């Protein structure tokens, strides 16, 4: 009996667009992945914006019913004007200087994010060390910010459809 067997739990990729919702389920094979199930349903145009979560949630339920997806776990992505992606060049920070790097990134990022930092989901990733000429080494850092209400809306609409949102990613990275 195996007590701590790692299991790969599937999740459905969910693309919530302006005019349609698309879903995709992949099946793992020995050499990669193949599309197992997919579907697309139209979204009604117009309507009361305050009821948009209900409308989209209903369309997602229709999509899941039509496509016959095998799980309620979903991953989705935000995109558009509410998302900022940028590479910053900062002075070099060693791997041990995490607090100093975090402070520098957040301080510098405020110049590029047109929203209050309290209103965005924010993260960063070290990309690498580069030669900065006479100054020595520099560090390239990728910053990503998305308005929290946009991220929350995607998670809420999935929950409205009876699903389990696991990841809300950035559209340019997800696809």
Beta-ladder partners of 99: none
Higher-pLDDT residue of 104, 27: 104
Taking all residues of the chain, what is their mean pLDDT, rounded to a whole number?
Answer: 87
- Whether the model clears a pTM of 0.75, i.e. scores above it, the answer is yes
Rg (CA), the chain: 20
Give me the pLDDT at residue 174, please. Answer: 58
- 130: helix, strand or coil: strand
Mark 81-112 as b/e (b = at least 16 C-beta within 10 Å).
ebbbeeebebeebeeeeeeebeebbeebbeee
Compute the average pLDDT of residues 1-18.
70
Q: Give pLDDT tens digits for 25-52.
A: 988 888 888 899 999 999 988 765 657 8
pLDDT confidence bin for 171, thresholds 50/70/90: confident
| 59 or 44: which leads in pLDDT | 59
pLDDT band at 5 (very low <50, low <70, confident <90, very high): very low
Domains and CATH numbers, the chain: 12-79+149-174 (3.30.420.40), 83-147 (3.30.1490.300)
Spell out the residues 6+ positions from residue 92 whose beta carbon is closer than 8 angstroms to its own: 129, 132, 136, 137, 138, 139
**If we measure between CA atoms, which residue out of 78, 71, 63, 74 comes closest to residue 165?**
74
Residue of higher predicted confidence among 175 and 23: 23
Dihedral angle sign, alpha carbons of residues 69, 75, 81, 87: negative
């Amino acid at each position: 009996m195996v007590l701590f067997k790692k299991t790969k739990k599937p999740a459905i990729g969910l693309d919530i667009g302006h005019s349609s919702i698309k879903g995709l389920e992949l099946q793992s094979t020995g050499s990669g992945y193949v599309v197992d199930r997919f579907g697309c349903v139209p979204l009604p145009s117009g309507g009361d914006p305050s009821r948009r979560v209900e409308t989209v949630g209903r369309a997602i339920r229709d999509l899941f019913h039509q496509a016959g997806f095998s799980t309620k776990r979903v991953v989705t992505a935000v995109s558009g004007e509410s998302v900022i992606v940028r590479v910053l060049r900062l002075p070099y920070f060693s791997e041990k200087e995490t607090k100093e790097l975090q402070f520098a990134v957040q301080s510098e990022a405020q110049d590029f994010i047109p929203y209050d930092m309290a209103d965005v989901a924010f993260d960063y990733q070290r990309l690498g060390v580069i030669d900065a000429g006479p100054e020595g080494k520099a560090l390239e850092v990728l910053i990503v910010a998305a308005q929290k209400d946009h991220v929350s809306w995607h998670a809420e609409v999935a929950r409205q459809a009876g699903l389990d949102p696991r990841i809300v990613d950035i559209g340019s990275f997800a696809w």
